[in-house]
Structure formats: structure tokens, C-alpha cells
């Protein structure tokens, strides 16, 4: 019994009642215990082998990655995949020297129609918003009272003329009698006085008659200018008065019409030179549309606003098609002259901290080229320096490029 205890193997661990039962069975059965030990060894060896294989796989993966990185770092740029880009050819062509500004359309003439007499409207001879010509009848007012007064004064004038004729006959008769000493001279003098009084009465009646005729003309309201008339504020049957603050309607001259805008004082010498050379033209474009109208600069304001350093310029537009409407905001382009410059699409020009540059393609390799932009007109940039006509520049795909990147040009031109 003591020998059995001495030969009892040490148990690897005891973690549960089941293991305790196995241990008890091992104590009771030495063969079972030895088999159990062999099983534990096999499990341990299997787990250790798996761990070694996993560590070897990780090491191989890391080695392959670092090798690929070293190979990529040591490989020349010529082995990189070419980047597809869009290109265009720099060309020398006419470029406008142009000033762009925001302008406002204003009328050359605008007239508010008002009544010059108190009366009732008996006729309206236009449609709201219609085009009217100078002299067209717009409103007709009730003039019957004035016409009656005119007839009364015409009677007074006729009476005064008859009285004058009678006085002139008296003068002629008294003149003959005085010559024959048949009547006192005082009678002749009285006849002359009477004739003068009748002449004065006639003049007064004639003046009153002319005044009434002028008043009668106010009953017919005509268009003083040609243009577009607005909505009538009074219709047939309304009473109008001289003291009314609201106009009956407003006429705006549409053709020709003004476009006014402002420029900086630094551009004034160029504008004046262009006006002297008669090369200054203006194009007005209604914002958001392709509708365009052309005209000529006709006025430069005689002072510069000291608060802003800006000055007003006005152009006259024929506007025969009535494209421009008073109050419309337009984009104005004042062309001063035309010069020959090397140009590229504006999309080719890139901006960095060092300034503007383009990617120039030569032998399918894109290289950075600093350039100086003089102006941009209609999507084209005029190059002041840094680029020659005929060179090929990248217009799309610059985000994937750096200095010396191989490229595959497409569109526009090929290297």
C-alpha cells in the first residue's frame, strides 16, 4: 500500500470535480493515468506547433510587405502607370482688353402724365403697357363747360369788333365836320376815345378766348414722347384734378436707352484713350441669359466718388428690339481694344503658394511650369510670360499629377 502511494504520478492540474474523479480513477488505475499523460503531451505539442506556424506566417507577411515597399521605393518613376489627362495647345490669338462690371438700365426720358384741369375722364385711348408715339391721344376729359365759355367769349369779341367799326365811322364823320367847322373838335376827340376803348375791350376778349382755347387743349391729353406706357391709374369716368399727386400714367422711352455702370479710377486713362480712338464698345448681357445688346460709351461722369474711388460711365444702346428694360440689372463688358496674346483654357491654370502654374506635357511627361496671367476673358487665360504658343498643357486630371509624372494625353492635342 505504501509502495502504491510512492509511485502515484503528480497530477498536472485540478480544475473541476470531473478532473478530481479522473484523478481518483488514475490513482486506482495506473495504466489509465499513463494514457492520460500521453494525451496531454500530444495536445501541448499540437498547440505549440500551431503557434509556431502562425508566427512564421506573420513574419513572412511582414517581410513580403517591406520588400515590396523597398522595391517600390527603389523602382524608377518611368515604371509608374501613366495618368490619363486632357490636354490643349497654347495658341496666340486676339484677346479683348475688357472691363467687366454690373450695370443698370435707365431710360433716356420718362414722363409722368398728369391732368392740368379738373374734369371727368370720358375716354382712354390706350392699353396698359402699350407702345405709344409722340402726339398720340391718351386721355380725353369732359370739356363742355369750357366750350360754352369759348362760345360766349367769341360773342363778346364779335360785339367788340362791331363797336370798333361804329367808332371808326364816327371818327371819319367828325373829321369831315371839324374840317368844315360844322362841329366842335371835342366830338372828334370823344369818338377817338370811344374807338380806343372798344379796341381795348376787343383785345381783352380775344386774350380770354385764347386762354380758354388753351384750357380746352388740356382736355385732350397727348403723349409727349414715344415709348412704353405703364398702367393707367384712372379709368373712364374717374374725376381727375390738377392737385392729384398720383400720375395718370407714365411713359418711358425704351429705344434708345441708357446703361450705366461704374469703373475704378485707375481704369480711367485706358477708357479715355479708347474713347479718343473710337474703339470702346459695350456689350450688356442680362444676368442668367444669353440675351445681349451692344452700344457705345457716350458719357463719363466729371468727378470721381472720393469715398469709393469709382466713377460712373454711361453707354447709349439702340435697343430696337426692346431687349433692355428700365431698371434691369445687366453684366456689362466694356471692350477697350484687342491685343495678340498666347492663350490657354482657364481650366489649365493652377494656383499654389508660389503663384500660378500649368502642367506642360512633353514626351508624355508632365512638368510644372510657372506662368503669369495677364487677364481672363470668356474662359481663356492670356499668358503674359512663362509659356509659348504651340506648347501642350494639361486641362483636366491635375490632381493626380506631380512634377515629372508620366501621362497619357487625350483630347485637344497629343504630345
Segment 249-296, tens digit of pLDDT: 999 999 999 999 999 999 999 999 998 888 888 999 998 888 899 999
pLDDT at 44: 67
Higher pLDDT pick, 40 / 137:
137
Q: What is the pLDDT of residues 342-369, one digit of tens each?
A: 999 999 999 988 899 999 999 999 999 9
Cα separation, 272 vs 275, in Å, equals: 5
Cα separation, 144 vs 367, in Å, equals: 91
pLDDT at 48: 65
pLDDT at 413: 52
User: What is the 8-class DSSP label of residue 4?
Assistant: H
Spans of all domains in the chain = 2-66, 83-93+340-410, 143-218
Cα separation, 187 vs 170, in Å, equals: 9
Q: What angle do CA 395, 397, 399 make, to 5 degrees?
A: 120
Q: What are phi and psi of 47, to 5 degrees?
A: -65, -40
| The dihedral formed by the CA atoms of 207, 210, 212 and 214, expressed in degrees to the nearest 10 | -130
**CA-CA distances (angstroms) from residue 257 to 103, 208, 284?**
13, 42, 12
Q: What are phi and psi of 24, to 5 degrees?
A: -65, -40
Chain-wide mean pLDDT for the chain? 85
Cα separation, 174 vs 105, in Å, equals: 76
**CA-CA distances (angstroms) from residue 102 to 92, 98, 192, 285, 378?**
30, 13, 76, 10, 16
pLDDT at 415: 39
pLDDT at 101 over 70: yes
Domain 83-93+340-410 is found in CATH 2.40.420.20: yes
Give me the half-sphere count of Cα atoms (radius 13 Å) on the Cβ side of residue 86: 9
Q: What is the pLDDT of residues 199-249, one digit of tens each?
A: 999 999 999 999 999 999 999 999 999 999 999 999 999 999 999 999 999
Q: By percentage, how much of the chain surpasses pLDDT 90? A: 67
pLDDT at 71: 39
Cα separation, 141 vs 126, in Å, equals: 14
Q: Which CATH number does 143-218 carry?
A: 1.10.287
pLDDT at 279: 82
Q: Where are the alpha helices (H) located in 233-388, listed in sequence order? A: 268-276
pLDDT at 334 over 60: yes
**CA-CA distances (angstroms) from residue 237 to 113, 115, 121, 148, 243?**
17, 14, 5, 21, 18
By the 10 Å C-beta count (0-12 exposed, 13-18 middle, 19+ buried), 144 is classed as exposed
User: Which of 414, 415, 412 has the alpha carbon at shortest distance from 347?
Assistant: 412
Q: Are 254 and 130 in contact (CB under 8 A)?
A: no
Q: What is the pLDDT of residues 120-136, one digit of tens each?
A: 999 999 999 999 999 99
**CA-CA distances (angstroms) from residue 363 to 55, 82, 393, 406?**
49, 12, 12, 9
Work out whether the CA dihedral 177, 179, 185, 189 comes out positive or negative: positive
Cα separation, 268 vs 306, in Å, equals: 14
Q: What is the pLDDT of residues 60-85, one digit of tens each?
A: 555 554 444 443 344 444 456 889 99
Amino acid at each position: 500500500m505504501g509502495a502504491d502511494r510512492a509511485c502515484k504520478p503528480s497530477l498536472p492540474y485540478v480544475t473541476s470535480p470531473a478532473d478530481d474523479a479522473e484523478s481518483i480513477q488514475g490513482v486506482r488505475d495506473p495504466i489509465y493515468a499513463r494514457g492520460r499523460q500521453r494525451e496531454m503531451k500530444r495536445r501541448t505539442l499540437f498547440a505549440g506547433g500551431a503557434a509556431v506556424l502562425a508566427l512564421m506566417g506573420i513574419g513572412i507577411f511582414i517581410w513580403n510587405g517591406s520588400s515590396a515597399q523597398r522595391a517600390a521605393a527603389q523602382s524608377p518613376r518611368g515604371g509608374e502607370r501613366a495618368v490619363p489627362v486632357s490636354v490643349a495647345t497654347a495658341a496666340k490669338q486676339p484677346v479683348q482688353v475688357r472691363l467687366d462690371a454690373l450695370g443698370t438700365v435707365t431710360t433716356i426720358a420718362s414722363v409722368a402724365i398728369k391732368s392740368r384741369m379738373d374734369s371727368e375722364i370720358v375716354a382712354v385711348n390706350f392699353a396698359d403697357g402699350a407702345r405709344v408715339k409722340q402726339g398720340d391721344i391718351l386721355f380725353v376729359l369732359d370739356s363742355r363747360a369750357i366750350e360754352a365759355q369759348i362760345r360766349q367769349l367769341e360773342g363778346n369779341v364779335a360785339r367788340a369788333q362791331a363797336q370798333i367799326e361804329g367808332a371808326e365811322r364816327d371818327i371819319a364823320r367828325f373829321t369831315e365836320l371839324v374840317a368844315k367847322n360844322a362841329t366842335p373838335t371835342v366830338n372828334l376827340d370823344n369818338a377817338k376815345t370811344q374807338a380806343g376803348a372798344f379796341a381795348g375791350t376787343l383785345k381783352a376778349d380775344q386774350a380770354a378766348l385764347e386762354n380758354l382755347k388753351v384750357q380746352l387743349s388740356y382736355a385732350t391729353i397727348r403723349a409727349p414722347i414715344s415709348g412704353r406706357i405703364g398702367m393707367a391709374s384712372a379709368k373712364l369716368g374717374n374725376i381727375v384734378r390738377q392737385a392729384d399727386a398720383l400720375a395718370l400714367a407714365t411713359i418711358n422711352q425704351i429705344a434708345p436707352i441708357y446703361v450705366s455702370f461704374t469703373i475704378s479710377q485707375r481704369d480711367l486713362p485706358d477708357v479715355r484713350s479708347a474713347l479718343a480712338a473710337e474703339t470702346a464698345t459695350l456689350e450688356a448681357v442680362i444676368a442668367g441669359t444669353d440675351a445681349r445688346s451692344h452700344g457705345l460709351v457716350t458719357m463719363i461722369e466729371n468727378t470721381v466718388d472720393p469715398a469709393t474711388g469709382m466713377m460712373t460711365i454711361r453707354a447709349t444702346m439702340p435697343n430696337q428690339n426692346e431687349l433692355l428694360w428700365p431698371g434691369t440689372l445687366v453684366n456689362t463688358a466694356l471692350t477697350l481694344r484687342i491685343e495678340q496674346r498666347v492663350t490657354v483654357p482657364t481650366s489649365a491654370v493652377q494656383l499654389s503658394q508660389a503663384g500660378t502654374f500649368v502642367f506642360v506635357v512633353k514626351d508624355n511627361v508632365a512638368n510644372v511650369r510657372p506662368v503669369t496671367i495677364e487677364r481672363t476673358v470668356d474662359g481663356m487665360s492670356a499668358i503674359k510670360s512663362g509659356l509659348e504658343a504651340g506648347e501642350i498643357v494639361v486641362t483636366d486630371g491635375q490632381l493626380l499629377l506631380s512634377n515629372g509624372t508620366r501621362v497619357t494625353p487625350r483630347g485637344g492635342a497629343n504630345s
